[in-house]
Amino acid sequence: MFIKKVTNRKAGKVYISYRLVKSKRIEGVSRHITILDLGSLAGLGVEKHKALANRMTQLIYNQLDILTEEDLDKEVEGKAQYFYRRLIKKQLERTPIETERTDKKEIAEVDLNSFESVDSKEIGGEWLCCQSFEELGLAGFLSEGLGFNSNEVAISLLSLIGRMLHPASELGTARWLNENSAAFELVCPASGTVDRNRLTNATLLLYQDKDQIEDFISGKVDDIFGLEDKYFLYDLTNTHFEGSAIGCEKAKFGRNKQKRNDCRQITLGLLTDSNGLPKRSRYYPGNIGEITTFDNVLNDLEKVAKGNKPVIVMDSGIASGDNLKTALSRGFDYICVSRSGHRDLLEQVNEDELKTFINKSKEEVKTQFFDSEVFYEKDGIQHCQKERILYVETQAKRSKEIAMIGKKRQRFDTGMQNIASSLKKPRADKTTKKINQRIGRLKEKCKGIGEEYDIEMEESKGKVVTLSWKYNPDNRAERKAGKYFIRTSIQADQEQLLWKLYRILGEIESSFKVLKSDLDMRPIFHQKGENIEAHLNLAVLAYFIVSFVRHRLKQNKIHHRWAEIVRIMSTQKCNINTIVDSKNRTIVLKTCTRAQLKAAEIYSAMKYKPTPFYRKKTYLKI
């Protein structure tokens, strides 16, 4: 065998490519038979072509004496191994696949020393994803409902698989799909490979039809599980940029929940049902106030409520008085944490009248109901809505808040010690004005705790000589720790039921954790506005599928986080092995490993097939 140069001319340009060929005499005439197209062989000098052909011959015919290990060039070896795998896959494509086990025996005499594992890639997670796509009918919706062609459908599904199993940049995802994953065995684009440009285009394509895809998946999930939920959760989170992001209008500086206030950020608003299954998402500027997004939430809620009177569950950051009145005027009930401290109600709390129950964590929760009224306007008419306010007191929340107060105290004490230490430095500014200014800044930095200190200064000639401070433990922050109020327009009579309804808000916090950690939504490295929102959208769409899978697994008492599910499923591989028989023929076998115990449990809980295929067998014919 040798490498043949091929020259093509097109549109006045000359294109050079190479082929691996062998000579064969046909009807007395010597002809060149193409074994494999090698492309342009970019990066490999012509002087190494002979070594590549010799190494390919060695691999194909299982020869060991053409090239010694000392003679092998790393660049030549890499190309030879790559093209050898391509040749095997080309041969396997012509072979029918065995989707079921067979009892038929095939006995052959083989040389065990010739056995070689040519390739091994992950297929378990990919098979789980593809079966979930199939159950949801996603491919059919993309092609028939949105008009995607077959290649666009394939690359879109591969983009989702990449985000679900190996979240990375488009370049990193392309490398993983091409080199580590057997996803192409299940979903194969026309080219047989992907690159970052194709993945980027697919991501943008999915973003163009964002709302339609979200509505379709959400509707299918409701149909599959028979859900008609009336409780919906809404919250916002933000994610920052690793870069200036000056090309994105929504990239703004704001209060970052990961303390990255030095970075621009963008805000994600997510609406889910009480099971944490997502319904709708929206993207806002990074400096937007939570309160101002409420009208959009109600618009989305009207579309997903299916004619029922929905109840929106939200945190105190969104539940302003005006927003609650707006919800009532549009026919929605609400459950939220009160933004008010309700000092008047705190005085009415009677320890003897508190009702006590035990939550899931075996912790004691104390509650008491109060009644109130909300006045709102609808169609120009004044209305009055009875409101129930639930006082809640838990030791777990108190312990958490006391610990937070302790951290603030530690920061304040450290700051005061630094100020006091500066009084002993000869060149430090010790004027009363400067020291008061530093203390004021420290109080602002430790807002909520600095006011609880008694600070005394001893002055002499306009300068501070000594500084002392003492914490007052009997303060409002510590007295209020572990206590809060829940407001609702629902006329609930059971304190335990109302508290549990509010506690489902933790489901949306779990959603954000999966999005940011398991699906790697944070941070953002893109710079253009369209690419940024498309990146976020791909993570959210991936979470639609992830939440569907996890919900079914939870129904079957499998409560793994998504990252753990991916790890378990990665134990199932797709292998390509070769062995030489007694007739010196190379037998090629492609097989899927058997699902291990935990992976098999996941397949069983999902009611999916445990193996995409059992075997492909062919002879390497040259």
d(CA 245, CA 234): 27
Q: Which of 211, 209, 223, 236 is nearest to 306 (CA)?
A: 223
Q: Are residues 46 and 170 in the same domain?
A: no
Q: Which of 602, 566, 605 is nearest to 162 (CA)?
A: 566
Number of domains in the chain: 4
Q: Which of 62, 34, 123 is nearest to 571 (CA)?
A: 123
Which of 182, 208, 234 is the last residue before a domain boundary?
208
d(CA 157, CA 459): 72
Q: What pLDDT is attached to residue 66?
A: 52
The β-bridge partners of 111 are: 580
pLDDT tens digits for range 548-601:
999 999 999 999 999 999 999 999 999 988 888 888 888 888 889 999 999 999
The domain in which residue 114 lies consists of 110-122+572-619
Q: Are residues 65 and 191 in the same domain?
A: no
Does any domain span residue 280?
no
Q: What pLDDT is attached to residue 137?
A: 95
Residue 95 or residue 590, greater confidence: 590
Q: Which of 211, 198, 335, 378 is nearest to 279 (CA)?
A: 211
Cα 180 to Cα 286, 519, 596, distances in angstroms: 36, 18, 20
Which tokens hold the place of 231? 């409780």
| Pairing label, strands 311-314, 231-240 | parallel
pLDDT above 70 (res 527): no
pLDDT tens digits for range 377-419:
888 888 898 888 888 888 888 888 889 889 989 999 999 999 9
Does any domain span residue 115?
yes
pLDDT tens digits for range 339-357:
887 878 888 888 888 888 8
d(CA 578, CA 587): 5
Q: Are residues 116 and 149 in the same domain?
A: no
pLDDT above 90 (res 239): no
Residue 604 or residue 108, greater confidence: 604
Does any domain span residue 276?
no
Q: Are 277 and 551 in contact (CB under 8 A)?
A: yes
**What's 100-139 look like in SS3?**
CCCCCCCCCCEEEEEEEEEEEEECHHHHHHHHHHHHHCHH
Does any domain span residue 588?
yes
**Over pLDDT 90: what percentage of the chain?**
30
Q: Are 336 and 487 in contact (CB under 8 A)?
A: yes
Does any domain span residue 373?
yes
Q: Are residues 348 and 430 in the same domain?
A: yes
**What's 188-218 look like in SS3?**
CCCCCCCCHHHHHHHHHHHHHCHHHHHHHHH
Which tokens hold the place of 415? 């700051």
Q: Are 575 and 120 in contact (CB under 8 A)?
A: yes
Which of 454, 487, 520 is the last residue before a domain boundary?
487
pLDDT tens digits for range 473-484:
888 888 888 888
E-assigned strands of 262-420?
265-273, 278-285, 311-314, 333-337, 355-358, 364-378, 381-394
Q: Are 233 and 313 in contact (CB under 8 A)?
A: yes
Which tokens hold the place of 104? 């038929």
Q: What pLDDT is attached to residue 344?
A: 82
Q: What pLDDT is attached to residue 91?
A: 76
pLDDT tens digits for range 112-137:
988 888 889 999 999 999 999 999 99
Q: Are residues 371 and 461 in the same domain?
A: yes
d(CA 49, CA 3): 7
- In the structure, what pLDDT confidence band is assigned to residue 64 with cuts at 50, 70 and 90? low
Does any domain span residue 217?
no
- In the structure, what pLDDT confidence band is assigned to residue 545 with cuts at 50, 70 and 90? very high
Q: Are residues 12 and 89 in the same domain?
A: yes
pLDDT above 80 (res 24): yes
Cα of first residue to Cα of last residue in the chain, in angstroms, is 10
Q: What pLDDT is attached to residue 415?
A: 93
The pTM score is: 0.80
Helix (DSSP H) and strand (DSSP E) numbers for the chain: 19, 18
pLDDT tens digits for range 243-259:
777 777 787 888 777 77
pLDDT tens digits for range 432-466:
999 999 999 998 888 888 888 999 989 888 899 89
Does any domain span residue 58?
yes
Q: Which of 498, 477, 504, 505 is nearest to 368 (CA)?
A: 498
Q: Are residues 362 and 451 in the same domain?
A: yes
Average pLDDT, the chain: 86
Q: Are residues 383 and 419 in the same domain?
A: yes
Q: Are residues 77 and 139 in the same domain?
A: no
Q: What pLDDT is attached to residue 203?
A: 93
Q: What pLDDT is attached to residue 482?
A: 85
Q: Are residues 58 and 164 in the same domain?
A: no
Does any domain span residue 19?
yes
pLDDT tens digits for range 209-221:
999 999 999 999 9
pLDDT above 70 (res 469): yes
Q: Are residues 171 and 115 in the same domain?
A: no
SS3 373: strand
Q: What pLDDT is attached to residue 554?
A: 93
Which of 464, 487, 510 is the last residue before a domain boundary?
487
Mean predicted confidence (pLDDT) in 526-552: 87
Q: Are residues 77 and 180 in the same domain?
A: no
pLDDT tens digits for range 298-345:
888 888 776 677 888 888 888 888 888 988 998 888 888 888 878 788
pLDDT tens digits for range 359-380:
777 788 888 888 888 898 888 8
Q: What pLDDT is attached to residue 70?
A: 52
